[in-house]
Structure 1
Amino acid sequence: MNPYLTSFRAIVFREALRFLQQRERFAAALIRPLLWLLVFAAGFRAALGLSIIPPYQTYITYEVYIVPGLCGMVMLFNGMQSSLSLVYDREMGSMKLLLTSPLPRWWLLFCKLAGATAISVAQVYAFLAITAAFGTVVPPLGYLMVLPALIVAGLMLGSLGLLLSGIVRQLENFAGIMNFVIFPMFFLSSALYPLWKMAESSEILYAICSVNPFTHAVELIRFALYGQLNAPALAWTLLASIVFMALAIYSYNPGRTGMARRG
């Protein structure tokens, strides 16, 4: 078999096997968004009235609005969790061994990214199934239409995780970096409230939210769930994916990280 396909299958299978062995990771990935959906949304429902905004054709409840943002939350946390495992593998030596293979480094990193994205997509569908059981449903066709959007968003957030894993060299420092990235990206986005509400309170925060890649990933998912394509969100998400992946490949350059000397 082609060595590229062999390595792809082996790395993706290893990522899936690791995930299946970490049941707590799967539970934690679902508990966070479900807490927002079932607890916080009940309190915010009265405070945050929502007008008719695309892609919605009528007034919606707050729970319906935040489902795409919570899907993004699942993918964001999984992307960071996967990057944490990369830092761990690098300290334990398995990542160094992988990167010494004759295959191009960019291909090996892409295989890790593909495995992380597949896990993210599976987690999102599990979350959507639970939300449907609690009565927060989307159009039936949306569950199929959202798949490409989830893949693109997962690649973007996974690439960001790869970049962080290439920059942060010590496992004990990574948790702080994760929080520094995750929470600003999540709260300064359209995941929990529409951008027009942010514009009413602060034009500066609105500008920050508008350029936040996570905002565009959420909007891409939101429109796809209702069978629509948000072309600007798709373009920005793809652009962010390319930039993050290019920087991640550069950060794993042995001449930059000193990884080859430490190996």
Structure 2
Amino acid sequence: MTVAFIALRAIVTRELLRFVRQRGRFIAALVRPLVWLLVFAAGFRAALGLSITPPYQTYITYETYIVPGLCGMILLFNGMQSSLSLVYDREMGSIRLLLTSPLPRWWLLTCRLIASTLISIVQAYVFLAIAAAFGIAMPVAGYLFVFPALVVAGLMLGALGLLLSSVVRQLENFAGVMNFVIFPMFFLSSALYPLWKMAESSVLLRDICAANPFTYAVELIRFALYAQFNGAALLWTLLAGFVFMALALWGYDPAKGMLRQRG
């Protein structure tokens, strides 16, 4: 157990130091949601009227509605960024060196997952602080309740990143894979508009959004920001996380997964 936690501390410290040194990564992670919050939301405000819907107790502005979705965007993009770094480390050989250590492979990958999730949570809280500075504040209790929701959502999306890193063979192919994963997951969800609004234009698109695991991650964050519990969102987010992690571990198994096929 001591050796396992030493490995956890070492991997988390390495990822945190890498993140601190890459200031552009931190700025880019905040610019994307802030552009949506301060620019696009201003244009969509008049076009997308929102009625009272749980967890909200009154009418809300469009900016208030999309804040949980933009927190999910930060977790999603950071999970993909972590996946990109794994592909890079594999090409450089460092990830293979890590996986040859005597510790179980699942624990080493879990350590990477925990490290990327912690970085995502820091970025999400910085974004929430900036949003509050612009007058888009949540209930005080929500900032505490949202922490476990961010942990669960971050682990699920980080596990998806691990899965992608086990599938992508070359660094050059990663951008295309990200475009086929990130944008459909983000836009076909409840991050930017509620499902009932989507159903007004297309029931099929509403059903696709309802089947998207990212939708449940966003709703888990949304309810937590208002100190409310969404059991269905938690269940489906955890289930998706377990499935993604199991597939990622299979992909990194040299005897069964994608690493063997590359050899």
Secondary structure at the counterpart of residue 241 of structure 1: helix
The alpha carbon displacement at 1:2 in A equals 1.1
1:93 aligns with 2:104: no
Unaligned runs of 5+ in 1: none
CA distance in 2, matches of 1:5, 1:73: 30
TM-score (norm 2): 0.98
- Which structure 1 residue ranges, 4+ long, deviate > 2 Å from structure 2? 255-262
Secondary structure at the counterpart of residue 109 of structure 1: helix
Q: Deviations over 1:163-200 (max 9, x none)?
A: 00001010000011011100000000000000001111
CA distance in 2, matches of 1:40, 1:192: 10
Give the total of aligned pairs: 262
CA distance in 1, matches of 2:66, 2:5: 38
CA contact (8 A) 1:96 1:259 kept: no
CA distance in 2, matches of 1:212, 1:174: 21
Q: 1:220 to 1:198 in 2, by over 3 A?
A: same
CA distance in 2, matches of 1:261, 1:46: 51
Instruction: Name 1:167's counterpart in structure 2.
Output: 167
Instruction: Name 2:145's counterpart in structure 1.
Output: 145
**Could you tell me the percent identity over the aligned residues?**
74
One-letter amino acid of the counterpart of residue 233, structure 1? A
Q: 1:63 to 1:261 in 2, by over 3 A?
A: closer
1:60 aligns with 2:46: no
Unaligned runs of 5+ in 2: none
TM-score (norm 1): 0.98
CA distance in 2, matches of 1:51, 1:245: 37
Q: 1:165 to 1:258 in 2, by over 3 A?
A: closer
CA distance in 2, matches of 1:260, 1:8: 29
CA contact (8 A) 1:185 1:212 kept: yes
CA contact (8 A) 2:169 2:262 kept: no
Secondary structure at the counterpart of residue 191 of structure 1: coil
Instruction: Name 2:176's counterpart in structure 1.
Output: 176
The alpha carbon displacement at 1:257 in A equals 2.9
- The alignment's C-alpha RMSD in Å is 1.1
Secondary structure at the counterpart of residue 141 of structure 1: helix
Instruction: Name 2:186's counterpart in structure 1.
Output: 186
Q: 1:259 to 1:86 in 2, by over 3 A?
A: farther
CA distance in 2, matches of 1:260, 1:95: 17
1:122 aligns with 2:125: no
Instruction: Name 2:218's counterpart in structure 1.
Output: 218
Counterparts of residues 1-263 of structure 1 (less than 5 Å): 2-255=2-255, 256-258=257-259
